[in-house]
Structure 1
Amino acid sequence: MARESNIVKIVGKENFQRLRSLKCLIVGAGGIGSELLKDCILMGFGEIHIVDLDTIDLSNLNRQFLFRHRDIKQPKSTTAVKAVQHFNNSKLVPYQGNIMDTVQFPLSWFDQFDIIFNGLDNLAARRYVNKIAQFISKPLLESGTSGFDGYIQPIIPGETECFDCTKKETPKTFPVCTIRSTPSQPVHCIVWAKNFLFNQLFNEETSSADETSTDWGTENKEEIDRIRQETNELHELRQIILSKGEERIKDILTKLFVKDIEKLLRIDNLWKTRTKPTLLDQSLIDDASQAVTNETQSLSSMWDIKEQIIQFFAITKKLMQRVHNGETNIEFDKDDEDTLLFVATAANIRSHIFNIPMKTVFDIKQIAGNIIPAIATTNAIIAGLSTLTALRVLNLLPYEPTKRSTDLNMAFTAKASNLSKDRYITNPRLAPPNPSCPVGGKVCRGVIKITQKGLNEIRLSKLVKLIRQKYQYPEEISVIDASNQRLLADFDFDDLIERSLSQVNLHDGSVILFSDEEGTAEAIYRKSLELYIEVIDGSLKDEIQLPDVEVPTVAVPVQNTAHTDHVEEKQGKSVNNENVIELDFDEKSETGAVKRPAPEEAPENALKRARKDKEYVDGLIELD
């Protein structure tokens, strides 16, 4: 084939044959994933597996070109594979499932692949795949886009920065009091209409979830009491919905935008520094209840407040009819026009009375549906960069051999990187792992292979003894089930120590964290070790096999010592140990002493505080 001859010209005959024998995994079959699938086929990978949990939505069709209107509600992965069969020369294997499902996708399943491509759209799954790659030491090509922005990052476990080596922006959340009492932005009103009002009225399963909330975002007892009362009163409004009392929609509007606002205005403390809301004019409600509308206005145009109220009446009637027809649990869906219009009109009416600019339905769809602006060409560019970079990661370019992993390049669009205005792509070299990273820096990783018999018979005490012997841990170590942050054993907790591993609920896919709580007089500690349990068929010597992982020691500086002492220690004058990893210092106190950041706290103190505070992050104990 012509395309194969072109690849042969680039990588050579021998490397092309190797490429044809490789297996790759693509996680995600959306905007980036569908482009990755096409590119990996054209590149010539011998076997391509693709995983996606989702089904196809109408909103996908503008940028995910493997899908058509007839494919809506079909699984993305299997539909994508069917769409590329006419030009495919690889073995394709689709899966519909959650990549974090350890039953469907155990560690041994991941281990079959030579390289992994991430085309995901959520932080939790990205972090999970990143951690799996660290366990199995397989290269990972991470990528993402947002509008015109995009990036790719090759991750070579143990040799380069991993996904968690740099801080990631977390999803924005809002205090209950802001959403329920003092909105100041359109998004506050949209969240109120979508997550609170809509669910209270139309979703029986979530209508009472708000009652148990304790994170109000305020200590104002009067305001908290009002929020609770408002929730209880909305249960009465749900009865209006269930009774199909269309003539009482006016009562819903009056309750939400007149009576509730009157109660808010009585809490004087809320309005000392804020603009007071204005009650919705009752005459607008009365007039809208008599209006007749047969068609919806353009969703991209801005409606005035009168039209918003008229549309609220019309769409609430439609939703009432759906409840009457048996849909007792209607969920918000950005592509369900009825639910979208209800949220949009309710949010805009609330915005109007709080003196916040209203939004078009089209704009609200993007915000309420958590739609990240996506551009098809950006997805194609990033996917192309990812597959081309894979050739260097796999060392398939004879004219550009990869001698060190840090010689590889990541790539950012110019806007995303802020490094250059004169070119579209910037491509800095990869950095080594961040020693402060909870995934790639602070912890050593490996896989425990164990038989089912071993899982049932080996006691936790024996496992701890084996860990001490093989990795030279001291007597005092802690053992945590990192899958659910459960303490199994430490120096003052041994209730479970004589139970078998299965009796302490360890199983295939469990992750155990071992940490040194003792250290030496010189504050040197054995690095923490995180081990993934893989239950295998067959036999093993002693029914268990520990990984050959080097677990170095870490010098943890003591707080409030003289600055000169720290400098000497950092230069190696006070620590004489070849295997010691020196930790960086950063913050200087007013007295000149160097203070160590909280995450670098001595492990024995960290564990004691963690048990008290119950705060565990990413399998490591982190302190707030």
Structure 2
Amino acid sequence: MSDTSSVNQRLLGSENYQKLRNSGVLLVGAGGIGCELLKNLVLMGFGSIDIVDLDTIDLSNLNRQFLFRHRDIKQPKSTTAIKAIQHVSNSKLTAHTANIMDVETFPLSWFDQFAIIFNALDNLEARRYVNQMAQFLHKPLLESGTAGFDGYIQPIIPGSTECFDCTTKETPKTFPVCTIRSTPSQPIHCIVWAKNFLFAQLFASSGSTIGDGDLGTDNPEEIKRIQQETNELLELQEYVRAGDESKIPEIIKKIFVQDIQKLLAIEELWKTREKPVPLPDIEVDGIVNTDLSSVWTIQEQVNAFVLSTQRLMKRLPEEGQIEFDKDDQDTLEFVTTAANIRAHIFKLPLKSLFDIKQIAGNIIPAIATTNAIISGLSALASLRVLNLIKNQPEAKAQELNMAFTSKASNISSNRYISNPQLAHPNPKCPVCSIARGVLHVSQEALKTTTLSELIQKIQEKYRFEGEVSILDKSTQRLLADYDFEDLLDKTLAELNLKHGIILSISDESVADEVRCTTEFYLDEVKDAQLRLPNIEVPLVKVIPSTEETDDAVGAIESTASGEIILDALEDKNEKKRPLEDEESSSSLPPSKKSATTHDEGVVILD
């Protein structure tokens, strides 16, 4: 480490290198970019590095997350990464295996100790949360992301440059249940059906239960058929758990013949769609194709379906239940073949086992070289952000640059990297266009201060001339409004307002100018009663909105497997827009996306 230290000192200068040694940084994420960034930050010589990651190591991580080995599978990423790098480290390394959004583990004051924050996340919600914390504390944040050959870095200087939420991010793909169960039109619909309905019902701990209001259809025949199909799958589950392999032909006949015939009986479904064709009788010959990257014939699909079902049936008595795992060959073959047989029935393209592993396992194909390039750019950009480059004048925010892979993104034919200057904050951004501050409050003040008293203090300090509304953003609960005063006499403690809660204050005045929306982070302290932050809450002009809001939004629940279950609240008066089988690129900013990226995360509407 002495050689690296001396080189860094010569490059940065003694004074800047000492600043670097005195700086602590936060790295959120220990995946593909995170591993590379941790290595870079250690070799650069930052004084302390805290790394946060909730995940454990998966087999599919090993090809690009170079700090991990096969022996590390199922181990926490954060602690394993530090163990792998500490032998070359002269920095204080601290691992946290926890959710970065846990306010008890990581209060706002904890973020304040760091000179800069590095985001190396693939989770949209967590990225937005870290961006919000950086905005509260005015901490520089370095965003980064990759998808295949594409990648980007974006320094974010709160108040001076656009933040992560200044540009619209793509939302996860959703599929109505009726599409998945009755009228698949894309291969991914068949994959979701095979993984989340068929496999889950036969082998996993519990199958999907669906209410009539969640189906995405009001056709009584279709609703009846879906519910009947679910009940009949329970009968098949008994065959599977009994281990009677002689019943496998009956399972095939039920799923791929009889259920399709029942679908065909609902004539309304096929007025504008091509009818499916039930699976013909196919004699199982036991021949298996071992080429995982090729698309198997329908005969080979049926052979592999039978064999994978046999193997899973033999495992059930000992394991009790089997959960889908993309690295479990038996479960992957079952889902692959079931999905492809269904796709064949509905005259859709078949996929290779390798392709379905990517989709069903929510794997975003990542390239180690892209991760290395982007993490290197992120580490170098931090020196510019922190003004640690020798003989360079102090950088102004607008003089900083982002970087993205312009050639891979089809933006430039002769430049691999483009580095435009950072944009100004978006005046319509819901995150950085508002006023923010930390509301310090003691436990005693929480018990004695009423909501009415808090509102009065806010109105007086920030010169709100009319009514205000208060929203608890952690639960999206309205606490007060001009026509909702039921909670005004309750104390903050009675309203369950506590440390880590974010309150959104809106001016409800009927005027051409109102105070801008303000957010307060509740920070529980011992030495203060209730202290409002000294921030400026400016007047802003009211611009009448012409945009229509979409009320057909469901409640989102994230499962342990990383899928998203979204309860359908569709507008029955609107025709469903066909969902293109396009791949998301949420890792990249909208203006820098390529025409084709590789995120095929499975999202199911239940």
* TM-score interval (norm. to shorter): 0.7 to 0.9
Q: Could you tell me which of 446, 471, 479 is aligned with 1:455?
A: 446
Deviation at 1:444, TM superposition (A): 1.4
Matched with 2:35 is 34
**Does 1:526 pair with 2:515?**
yes
Deviation at 1:452, TM superposition (A): 1.4
Supply the distance in 2 between the matched residues of 1:336 and 1:229 (Cα, whole angstroms): 30
Secondary structure of 1:449's match? strand
Secondary structure of 2:445's match? helix
Matched with 1:352 is 344
Whether the 8 Å CA contact 1:476–1:518 is kept in 2: the answer is yes
Count the aligned residue pairs.
556
- State the AA in 2 paired with 1:216: L
Change (3 A) 1:416 1:512: farther
Quick check: which has more Rg, 1 or 2?
Answer: 1
Q: Could you tell me which of 351, 357, 360 is aligned with 1:365?
A: 357
Whether the 8 Å CA contact 1:52–1:95 is kept in 2: the answer is yes
Deviation at 1:77, TM superposition (A): 0.7
**Does 1:422 pair with 2:414?**
yes
Deviation at 1:213, TM superposition (A): 5.7
Whether the 8 Å CA contact 2:408–2:416 is kept in 1: the answer is no
Q: Which has the higher contact order (CA 8 A, sep 6+)?
A: 2
Deviation at 1:187, TM superposition (A): 1.1
Supply the distance in 1 between the matched residues of 2:136 and 2:553 (Cα, whole angstroms): 26
Change (3 A) 1:68 1:408: same
Q: Could you tell me which of 319, 327, 337 is aligned with 2:320?
A: 327
**Does 1:597 pair with 2:546?**
yes
Structure 1, residues 206-243: CA drift from partner, whole Å, max 9, x if none?
x143x226243333332222222212221222222222
Q: Could you tell me which of 535, 544, 550 is aligned with 2:536?
A: 550
**Does 1:392 pair with 2:384?**
yes
Whether the 8 Å CA contact 1:485–1:616 is kept in 2: the answer is no
Matched with 1:317 is 310
Matched with 2:56 is 55
Deviation at 1:198, TM superposition (A): 1.3
Deviation at 1:532, TM superposition (A): 0.9
Matched with 2:488 is 497
Whether the 8 Å CA contact 2:275–2:346 is kept in 1: the answer is yes
Deviation at 1:58, TM superposition (A): 1.0
Secondary structure of 2:213's match? coil
Secondary structure of 1:348's match? helix
Deviation at 1:339, TM superposition (A): 1.3
Whether the 8 Å CA contact 2:42–2:91 is kept in 1: the answer is yes
Matched with 2:475 is 484
Deviation at 1:88, TM superposition (A): 0.6
Deviation at 1:203, TM superposition (A): 2.3
Matched with 1:585 is none
Consecutive unaligned residues of structure 1, counting only runs of 5 or more, are: 559-595, 600-608, 618-623
Matched with 1:139 is 140
Matched with 2:592 is none
Change (3 A) 1:204 1:212: farther
Structure-to-structure mapping, 1:247-326, within 5 angstroms = 247-282=246-281, 284=282, 287-288=283-284, 291-292=285-286, 297-326=290-319
Which segment is superposed worse, 76-85 or 268-277?
268-277
Whether the 8 Å CA contact 2:212–2:223 is kept in 1: the answer is no
Secondary structure of 1:414's match? coil
Matched with 2:581 is none
Supply the distance in 2 between the matched residues of 1:64 and 1:490 (Cα, whole angstroms): 50
Deviation at 1:507, TM superposition (A): 0.9
Identify, as 1 or 2, the structure richer in helix: 1
Supply the distance in 2 between the matched residues of 1:69 and 1:483 (Cα, whole angstroms): 39
Deviation at 1:524, TM superposition (A): 1.1
Deviation at 1:292, TM superposition (A): 4.8
Which segment is superposed worse, 373-382 or 237-246?
237-246
Deviation at 1:63, TM superposition (A): 0.7
Supply the distance in 2 between the matched residues of 1:353 and 1:11 (Cα, whole angstroms): 65
Change (3 A) 1:85 1:613: closer
Whether the 8 Å CA contact 2:407–2:415 is kept in 1: the answer is no
Matched with 2:231 is 232
Matched with 1:242 is 241
Supply the distance in 1 between the matched residues of 2:87 and 2:553 (Cα, whole angstroms): 54
Supply the distance in 2 between the matched residues of 1:406 and 1:136 (Cα, whole angstroms): 19
Deviation at 1:185, TM superposition (A): 1.8
Matched with 1:379 is 371
Matched with 2:101 is 100
Change (3 A) 1:229 1:440: same
Structure 1, residues 141-191: CA drift from partner, whole Å, max 9, x if none?
000001110000001111110001001122212122221111122111111
Whether the 8 Å CA contact 1:185–1:356 is kept in 2: the answer is yes
- State the AA in 2 paired with 1:63: R
Change (3 A) 1:377 1:613: closer
Whether the 8 Å CA contact 2:293–2:354 is kept in 1: the answer is yes
Deviation at 1:613, TM superposition (A): 9.4
| Dislocated runs of 4+, deviation >4 Å | 612-617
Change (3 A) 1:44 1:379: same
- State the AA in 2 paired with 1:269: E
- State the AA in 1 paired with 2:318: N
Secondary structure of 1:18's match? helix
Which segment is superposed worse, 240-249 or 94-103?
240-249
Supply the distance in 1 between the matched residues of 2:143 and 2:200 (Cα, whole angstroms): 36
Matched with 1:23 is 24
Deviation at 1:418, TM superposition (A): 4.4
Matched with 1:535 is 524
TM-score, normalized by length of structure 1? Answer: 0.86
Structure-to-structure mapping, 1:610-621, within 5 angstroms = none
Matched with 1:153 is 154
Supply the distance in 2 between the matched residues of 1:494 and 1:544 (Cα, whole angstroms): 22
Whether the 8 Å CA contact 2:204–2:324 is kept in 1: the answer is no
- State the AA in 2 paired with 1:144: G
Consecutive unaligned residues of structure 2, counting only runs of 5 or more, are: 557-570, 572-606
Change (3 A) 1:216 1:324: same
Supply the distance in 2 between the matched residues of 1:31 and 1:597 (Cα, whole angstroms): 42
Secondary structure of 1:302's match? coil
**Does 1:511 pair with 2:512?**
no
Supply the distance in 2 between the matched residues of 1:9 and 1:28 (Cα, whole angstroms): 30
Whether the 8 Å CA contact 2:68–2:81 is kept in 1: the answer is yes
**Does 1:216 pair with 2:210?**
no
Supply the distance in 1 between the matched residues of 2:8 and 2:212 (Cα, whole angstroms): 58
Supply the distance in 1 between the matched residues of 2:133 and 2:240 (Cα, whole angstroms): 47
- State the AA in 1 paired with 2:419: N
- State the AA in 1 paired with 2:255: L
Matched with 2:172 is 171
